[in-house]
Amino acid sequence: MNIIILDGVLFVASVLLIVGLRKLSNPDSASNGNILAAVALGLGVLVALVYPLETQSNNYLYIGIGFFVGGTIGLISAKKVPMTAMPEMVSLFNGFGGLSAALISLVWMVNNHLSGEANELGIVLLNLFLGLVAFIGSMVAYGKLSGSLKDDQLKIPFSTVLNIIILLIAIGSIGVFSYNGYLSTSQTILFCVLSLLYGVTFVAPIGGADMPVVIASLNALTGITAAISGIITDNKLMLLGGVLVGSSGIILTLLMCKAMNRPVLSVFFGNFSSTTGTANQVEGNAKEISASNLAIQLAYSQRVCIIPGYGMAVAQAQKIVKELEEILEKKDVEFKYAIHPVAGRMPGHMNVLLAEADVSYDKLLDLDEANSYLESTDVAIVVGANDVVNPSALDDPSSKIYGMPILKLASTSNVIVLKRSMNPGYAGIQNPLFFKDNTKMLFGDAKKSIEILLKELKNV
């Protein structure tokens, strides 16, 4: 097949990828956008398989094995992963994307006998460093999200200083090796170890409440490595896809940092949630409410707002919440959803859950809109959220989440918290909101609690 035809196919794939990603910005068109983007990347893979015919290469056995093994793993993983494990899967797949970029750099170096012109070698070493950081950082994030790695298991003394030192050594090494135009095998191995070490020290100190931000930054790193890999391999589609993913990841990281009130530089130096002193002790008696009493409150309310969190994903309660919305709207109750930017375990986690339940995008309120709306809300129902409604972020300087903008419920007439128990949230801190005068607890599995609530509402 002629190279010109292959380039034409890549151009079509590029257009499809741009259109597909653009459609992902709206829930109504997201499904079609995902299909278009998948077709675009599929065309890119096919072109990558055909290109060796034009260059007289003979690596089809290796390509076929990789295609079959990777495709099988991806298909099985996507089919079996529950919604609650989606953040871990995103982190895992993102890590393998970084590893792929790092391997591309290593292959280039081996083929060029670990030498090259300063500019070429510098770009390849930068890609190797970023790829390995994205890989091992995503693996650590995966461990934290899955619960197999606890924050206290990854305590690193003087982590901020250590991160800066390692980063400066890595940047200096890239400069020196590029200037010399050559690396020895041992130097290459040491550079890889240094890169992996920084990936660990980069993510390890970051607390649970900040994981959505670090995932966004790791996605950005992987996108950047994909773009650089496209330059190294002269693959235009990979370059385009990498630029789109990298730039959107950077924008998302900036937005998430703003939402968390965290300095952007703290992302790279691993100093997210460092606090001094001892957190204030939370004392008080939590008041419970029955499903029947809550049903009466809801039926005679004018405004009701749901605040979803990771607990909603665990309980798979999004569809039953949608049923609650439909019943209350039939009773002329205004119904909205307050979405915190970092609710859940990854950026947009709650949006994905609610879209799965066909919740209208118009009913979702961002942080500023939600706080304004909550001031005049009759009943706010917190479904499995904890840290994003924790007032310690506003009034406890010793708290891990101090300074983080939250959904403010102090002025809401009635706050109902659906939780299995009084255990703290992902950040590992107790929530004073649970003991406020306007707050009552409805204990139990969120889905089952709302199912009982729906039965009671039908009798009101």
Please tell me the predicted confidence (pLDDT) of residue 179: 92
Please tell me the predicted confidence (pLDDT) of residue 400: 75
In this structure, are residues 307 and 383 in contact, taking their beta carbons and an 8 Å threshold? yes
Cα angle 289, 294, 299 (rounded to 5 degrees) comes to: 170
Please tell me the predicted confidence (pLDDT) of residue 274: 44
Whether the pLDDT of residue 259 is over 90: the answer is no
**Residues in Cβ contact with 41 at an 8 Å cutoff, skipping those fewer than 6 apart:** 13, 17, 237, 241
Q: Which of 387, 395, 396, 437 is catalytic?
A: 387
How far is Cα 343 from Cα 306, in angstroms, rounded to an integer? 13
Give the whole-number percent of the chain exceeding pLDDT 70: 90
Whether the pLDDT of residue 145 is over 90: the answer is no
Helices marked H in 264-419: 265-269, 291-299, 310-315, 318-330, 349-356, 367-374, 392-395
Buried-state track 34-61, b at ≥16 Cβ within 10 A, e below 16: eebbeebbebbeebbeebeeeeeeeeee
Whether the pLDDT of residue 109 is over 90: the answer is yes
Whether the pLDDT of residue 280 is over 80: the answer is no
Residue with structure tokens 């859940």?
Answer: 344
In this structure, are residues 451 and 322 in contact, taking their beta carbons and an 8 Å threshold? no
What average pLDDT does the structure give for the chain?
A: 85
291-458 CATH fold: Rossmann fold (3.40.50)
**Greatest mean pLDDT among 270-279, 329-338, 385-394, 402-411:** 329-338
107-111, 175-179, 250-254, 261-265: least confidently modelled range:
261-265
With cut-offs at 50, 70 and 90, classify the pLDDT of residue 52. low
Residue with structure tokens 């840290």?
Answer: 387
Whether the pLDDT of residue 63 is over 50: the answer is yes
**What is the average per-residue pLDDT within 97-112?**
93
**What is the average per-residue pLDDT within 122-131?**
96
With cut-offs at 50, 70 and 90, classify the pLDDT of residue 291. very high
163-177, 247-261, 331-345, 358-372: least confidently modelled range:
247-261
Pairwise pLDDT comparison (52 vs 36), residue with the higher score: 36
Please tell me the predicted confidence (pLDDT) of residue 215: 84
pTM: 0.78
Please tell me the predicted confidence (pLDDT) of residue 1: 53
DSSP 88-126: HHHHHHHHHHHHHHHHHHHHHHHHTTTB--HHHHHHHHH
Whether the pLDDT of residue 188 is over 90: the answer is yes
**What is the average per-residue pLDDT within 281-286?**
68
Q: Is 387 a catalytic residue?
A: yes
Please tell me the predicted confidence (pLDDT) of residue 277: 43
With cut-offs at 50, 70 and 90, classify the pLDDT of residue 438. very high
CA 104 to chain centre: 25
Terminal alpha carbon distance of the chain? 71
Whether the pLDDT of residue 349 is over 50: the answer is yes
**What is the average per-residue pLDDT within 332-360?**
86
> In a 10 Å sphere around its CB, with 0-12 CB exposed, 13-18 middle and 19+ buried, how is residue 439 labelled?
buried
121-130, 182-191, 337-346: least confidently modelled range:
337-346
With cut-offs at 50, 70 and 90, classify the pLDDT of residue 414. very high
With cut-offs at 50, 70 and 90, classify the pLDDT of residue 41. confident
In this structure, are residues 111 and 103 in contact, taking their beta carbons and an 8 Å threshold? no
With cut-offs at 50, 70 and 90, classify the pLDDT of residue 276. very low
Whether the pLDDT of residue 57 is over 80: the answer is no
Please tell me the predicted confidence (pLDDT) of residue 275: 45
**What is the average per-residue pLDDT within 280-298?**
83
